[in-house]
A and B are shown apart, each in its own frame.
Chain A
Amino acid sequence: MRWLKIVHRVLLAVPVALGVAVLAFFSLHLLPGDPVQIMLGETNTSAATIRAVQHELHLDQPLHVQLALFFAQLAHGDLGTSIVQQRPVAALIAEALPATIELTAATIVIAVLIAVPMGLASALRPRSWIDRAVLSTSLLGASMPAFWFGLLLILFFAVNARLLPTSGQIDPTIGVPPVTGLLLIDSLLAGNGAAVVSVLRHLLLPALTLGVVFAAVLARTVRSSMIDVLHRQYVTTARAKGLPETAVVIKHALRNALIPAITVAGLQIGELLGGNMIVETVFAWPGLGRLVVNSIFARDYLMVQAAVMLYALTYVAANLAVDVAYTVLDPRMDVT
């Protein structure tokens, strides 16, 4: 029954993705600017050549014809060719997505490692100095501009202390045969220890930059739901049974307190998987955020439509994953 519901939710994602693609298509065409002219800029190109290229790329067709062409290609599993890069859109996404997935995963690990202990510590002693410290640091973390914080980390850890690399994904002199595109996995598959270390060292600063913001939000959620849960009757009962305090906190309280935290995390993961243009730019990280923002500036219609569809699917998947996680944490719940 649960599986059926999951399949149902996955199928529902298809019209959502197509719907946002149509919306993206029309809103992009509302923007002034022609992709061929933007691409050529000031290159010596005659009006005739520009018209010929626009025709070859079907940009001279009426909008509904262009949209129909897009869907016809999509039906054949083809996302089309990027106007600007003149490469398949699918290849461009496949090139950028693994970098974003890798950074998202590292961000989550760092955020959870920071947020859960912080949230717990402050919930256990509300209004104490620890609580106040946690609340103020998380406020600071949530309001810090990622651009500035990232540069600060680079300056401190990479330029001055020389502990970590400034940017990039891996030492560029190390070549790892691409299998999954995820550099950490590929390095492990290749059995290349130096590559694994290099990948992890490169991941640390960008993941910390994104993770601090994420952790700030998460720590506050863990704190408030933990305070709420600690006042519930079942916690009092657990204590009255004579269970040690750690068991009460970890087994009875934290497990229940995590449900709202997972909701928050799910939304954040959806956002992280979209890529973060700013952090990717600062750390020269070849992720999705940069690709999509630049495609919007270049009016690379097909590229943006594909990315928007991917975003919609990511959000649907993240929400679904949250719902499934609920059922694990609270067996009374079911996927809706």
Chain B
Amino acid sequence: MHVILIAAALCVALLGGTRGDAAKALSFVLDTTANRATEAQAIVAQLGRAGINAQVRVWQLSVLIAQVRAGQRAAYTTDWGSAYFDPYDLAVPKFVTNARGNFSFYSNPAVDHDMAVASSTPNEAQRKTAYYDAQRKIYSDAPWAFGYVLQNVEAQSSAVSGWAPAPDNSETMYPASVRGGDTIIVGMRNDSIAPLDPGTPPNDREAVLRNIFDGLVGAAPDGKVVRQLATSWRKVGPAVYDFTLRPGVKFQNGDPVTADDVVFTFQRVLTPGAISGVSSTRKDLLGPILRVQKLDESHVRFVYSASFPELLVLQSLVHFQIVPQKYVQQVGEAGFIAKPIGAGAFRFVRGALNSEIVLERYDGYWAGPAKLRQVIFRMMPEPSSRIAALLSGEVQVIQEVPPDLVDRLKASPNVQVKTAEGTRSYEIEFNVKAEPFTDPRVRQAVNYAINWDPILRDIYHGYGTRLATAFLPSGFGYDASLKPYPYDPAKARELLKQAGY
């Protein structure tokens, strides 16, 4: 009997103890995925020092994203990459009300207005002002605990020259050469890549694809837009651009590249169900496009439904490689992906998408033949195996070196580690429509309570840079004067106190 009484008294004391605290502590679950679990644990420990009680839960990525989209999670580590060197593909979809990537359900009419101006006005100064303004508003609204951008770390054999990693993980092999040989084997980070069709959604296959195909314009390894099959363009109206084609260019099968091929390429993407009965999911990358039409044999016109800035037109066209109309119609869609033909520097020889793809120099390339005779892309999903293959000389270039393995490569005199500025923001997003993150002071408090510096130093070995918001230093309209939230646990406690914690 006594035992029961004592137990009951203890229970009352314990429950009362937690309930009786002067203010409730902020507590939430930080949802994450296995690849960021260490980081999340470190963050939770830091939050604890500011009196915030957070716990880590690890999910499988696609399950977590489905939960987040449904608005069922409160705070989650996530990331978003940009295919443009412009906030148009990062800050816009992440912060505009109901935009496709707005998983924090953030909504601020003033930010929406800024973004709409920046996505449409052709005036660069106005665009910049709008983006600057948006950055400050987003900063103080703090819909995320803003994080960092990581560099792309890749490596090459010392015998290779003319190759550099790109911000978007594409591999431009045209200028590359290798001492004492004419073949470069690239160890890709992928398990397998999707078919080599420039009409289906863009992903890691672009690394291979852009060596086989050229677009009207392309991207240099530093991200700058370069002329490829177009020699010039002209804005003839706020929403109309005319492109002049490079004369005398031939596809790898000898057919000339004509205005008809360009129109066909874009129609294939814009027409519903045009690729083996399925609509191209690449079409929205084109922006507010209405139609692409042939003016004459060497001129094509792009007509948009609304004013679309030139920078965005060019950045969007980087994602569209020209396909040969006659060949595609002759061999069919299945035949085309079995043996793709483009106007790029290398032609497809053989290969399987889950093991290796062999390309050979196209001697008729418009800019002159490449230095390499052969480029082979090998699928090597395990980073340690890629590093082993580079060290043993089996491959000459490898993608994605995890920061903790860089030292192993640096110890070898025969390899060089190279980096490129990344295009992906890593952050913690809050569901601003659900408790406890409806109050901006709570969200700011979490920003003040996280010390990213030791995380970037110890987990990412210095290959990361803090971001003040989700605007990247490499992109247009970045406000360098806006500094990231400093680590200030006292300030965090104060804000939480104001918010009633």
- From B81, B191, B202, B380, give the contact of A167 (CB < 8 A): B380
B194 within 8 A of A: yes
- Bound-state CA distance A45–B282 (Å) is 7
Q: Are A162 and B392 in contact, CB atoms less than 8 angstroms apart?
A: yes
Q: Judging by beta carbons under 8 Å apart, are B61 and A290 in contact?
A: no
Give Cα distance in the complex from A152 to B389, angstroms. 13
Is the Cβ of B381 less than 8 Å from the Cβ of A290? yes
Contacts of B392 in A (CB 8 A): 158-159, 162, 165-166
Task: Tell me, yes or no, whether B378 is within 8 Å of chain A by CB.
Answer: yes
Is the C-beta of A299 less than 8 angstroms from some C-beta in chain B?
A: yes
Contact A43 B202 (CB under 8 A): yes
Within the complex, the shortest CB–CB distance from A66 to chain B, in Å, comes to 16
Tell me how far the C-beta of A7 lies from the nearest C-beta in chain B, rounded to whole angstroms. 35
What per-residue 1/0 map shows which CB atoms of A137-173 lie under 8 Å from chain B?
0000000000000010011001100100111110011
Min C-beta distance of A11 to chain B, whole Å:
33
Is A65's beta carbon under 8 Å from chain B?
Answer: no
- Is B470 part of the binding interface, using a Cβ–Cβ cutoff of 8 Å? no
Min CB distance, B41 to chain A, in Å?
A: 22
Cross-chain contact of A166 among B63, B69, B388 (Cβ < 8 A): B388
Tell me the nearest residue of chain B to A35, going by C-beta.
Answer: B62
Residues of B within 8 A of A43 (CB): 83, 201-203, 281-282, 284-285
Stretch of A19-27, A46-54, A256-264, A312-320 contacting B (4+ beta carbons < 8 Å):
A46-54
**Nearest chain A CB to B441's CB is how many angstroms away?**
30
Let me know if B100 and A44 touch, CB within 8 A: yes
- Bound Cα distance A37, B281 (Å): 11
In angstroms, Cα B276 to Cα A53, docked, is 12
A284, B183: Cβ atoms closer than 8 Å: no
A residues in contact with B394, CB < 8 Å: 165-168
Contacting pair B279 A173 (CB below 8 A): no
Q: Are A297 and B60 in contact (CB under 8 A)?
A: yes
A44 close to B277 (CB less than 8 A): no
Pick the residue among A46, A87, A95, A297 that contacts B62 (CB under 8 A). A297
* Residues of the B chain whose Cβ atoms lie less than 8 Å from the Cβ of A38: 62, 65
- Report Cα–Cα, A282/B389, bound state, in Å: 11
- Which of the candidate stretches B3-11, B212-220, B352-360, B431-439 sits at the interface with the other chain? B352-360
Residue from A52, A158, A159, A175 whose CB has the most chain B CB atoms within 10 Å: A159
A56 contacts B278, C-beta separation under 8 Å: yes
Please judge, given known A-B contacts A57-B278, A281-B381, whether A173 and B273 are in contact too, CB under 8 Å. Answer: no
Check if B279 sits within 8 Å of A286, measured CB to CB.
no
How far is A38 from B272 in the complex, measured between Cα atoms in Å?
20
Cα-based distance from A167 to B388 in the complex (angstroms): 9
A299 to B65, CA, bound (A): 13
Say yes or no: A284 contacts B80, CB within 8 Å.
no
Residues of B within 8 Å of A52, CB to CB, are 272, 279
Contact B66 A33, beta carbon cutoff 8 Å: yes
Q: Which residue of A lies closest to B200 (CB)?
A: A86
B92 CB to nearest chain A CB (Å)? 9
Contact A168 B355 (CB under 8 A): yes
On whether A172 and B356 interact (CB within 8 A), knowing A56-B277, A86-B276, A87-B195, the answer reads yes
Verify if A85 is at the interface (C-beta below 8 Å from B): yes
In contact, A44 and B385 (Cβ under 8 angstroms): no
Do B384 and A151 touch (CB < 8 A)? Answer: yes
Contact of B93 among A37, A44, A84, A151 (CB under 8 A): A44
CB A293 to nearest CB in B, in angstroms, measures 9
CB neighbours (8 Å) of B203 from chain A are 41, 43
A42 contacts partner chain B, Cβ-Cβ < 8 Å: yes
Asked whether A31 is an interface residue with its Cβ less than 8 Å from the other chain, the reply is yes
- What 0/1 pattern do residues 50 to 93 of A give for CB contact below 8 A with B? 10110011000000000000000000000000001111000000
A284 touches B63 (CB 8 A): no
Contacts of B440 in A (CB 8 A): none
Residue of A nearest to B352 (CB): A95
Q: Given that A167-B385, A297-B60 are contacting pairs, would A56 and B374 also be in contact in the complex, using a CB cutoff of 8 Å?
A: no
Q: Least Cβ distance of A38 to chain B in Å?
A: 5
* A99 CA / B385 CA spacing, docked (Å): 18
Minimum CB–CB distance for B255 against chain A, Å: 25
**Bound form: Cα–Cα A132–B378 in Å:** 44
Q: Does A194 contact B (CB under 8 A)?
A: no
**Best-surrounded residue of A45, A99, A165, A284 (most CB of chain B within 10 A):** A284
CA distance A151 to B81 in the complex (A): 31
Interface 1/0 per residue, B100-116 and A, CB below 8 Å: 11000000000000000
Fill in one digit per residue for B388-402: 1 if any A CB lies within 8 Å of its CB, else 0: 110110100000000
B67 in the interface, Cβ–Cβ < 8 Å? yes
Once the chains bind, are A175 and B65 in contact (CB under 8 Å)?
A: no
Q: Is the CB of A284 within 8 A of B278?
A: no
Interface residues, chain B, CB within 8 Å of chain A? Answer: 60-63, 65-67, 69-70, 80-81, 83, 89, 93, 100-101, 183, 185, 191-192, 194-195, 200-203, 272-273, 276-279, 281-285, 337, 349-350, 352-356, 358, 374, 376, 378-382, 384-385, 388-389, 391-392, 394
23 examples of A-B residue contacts, CB within 8 angstroms: A33-B65, A36-B281, A37-B69, A43-B83, A43-B284, A45-B201, A85-B192, A85-B195, A85-B353, A86-B194, A99-B355, A154-B384, A166-B394, A167-B385, A168-B355, A172-B356, A281-B382, A282-B382, A283-B385, A284-B379, A284-B389, A286-B352, A294-B192
Interface residues of A (CB under 8 A from B): 31-34, 36-47, 49-50, 52-53, 56-57, 84-87, 95-96, 99, 151, 154-155, 158-159, 162, 165-169, 172-173, 175, 281-284, 286, 290-291, 294, 297-299
Give 10 closest A-B pairs by Cβ, nearest first: A32-B66, A33-B62, A286-B355, A286-B354, A284-B380, A166-B388, A33-B66, A166-B389, A172-B356, A44-B284
